[in-house]
Copies of this chain bind each other. A is one copy, B any other.
Amino acid sequence: MPEPYITMEITNHIFSLEFTVRDYECDIQGVVNNANYQHYLEHARHEYLITKGISFVKLHDDGIDLIVSKVEIDYKYPLRSMDRFIVTVDIQREGNVRLAFIQNIYRIPDNKLVVHGKVTGVVTKRGKPVTPGTLIELLGL
């Protein structure tokens, strides 16, 4: 994953959301299971879209889906039971048909970097990729 997007700054993101680790998300090793970080990233993305007036579910009902085509996650430090953390969201266009969400997870209150993630998506209408025009417009990008 290219380094430039890795910002250690917890500020200056277009969106961030606070979570608390739930014990059922932890596995035998006593840490959050790797797949659950994807859940955290997804939930933060969807909540961000909602602040922009975009409901993931309503889009789907209209035949429009934002499909994840690639996920890259660097695991830097594990979260444990009772940890609080924030998930950040930034977004950038990638070519004509792709959007990339750049997302970090920071433990709070010490701002320890937990996860860097890059989630690349394409917009599809009734299953076919389309330019993410409307979506981009709604996002004000």
Select from chain B the residue with minimum beta-carbon distance to A35: B38
Considering the complex, which residues of chain A in the window 36-79 have a beta carbon less than 8 Å from any beta carbon of chain B?
36, 38-39, 42-43, 46-47, 50, 55-57, 60, 65, 67-75
Chain A's interface: helix, strand, loop or mixed, by majority?
Answer: mixed
Give the docked Cα–Cα distance between A137 and B81 (Å).
Answer: 24
Query: Which of A28, A69, A71: most chain B CB closer than 10 A?
Result: A28
CB-based contact A29/B65 at 8 Å? yes
* Total copies of the chain: 4
CB-based contact A23/B43 at 8 Å? yes
- Determine whether A30 belongs to the interface, using a CB cutoff of 8 Å to chain B: yes
Chosen A-B contacts, 20 in total, with CB atoms closer than 8 Å, are A1-B70, A22-B39, A22-B43, A22-B46, A23-B27, A23-B28, A24-B27, A24-B33, A24-B43, A27-B28, A29-B60, A35-B35, A55-B82, A57-B80, A57-B82, A67-B75, A69-B75, A70-B74, A71-B71, A71-B73
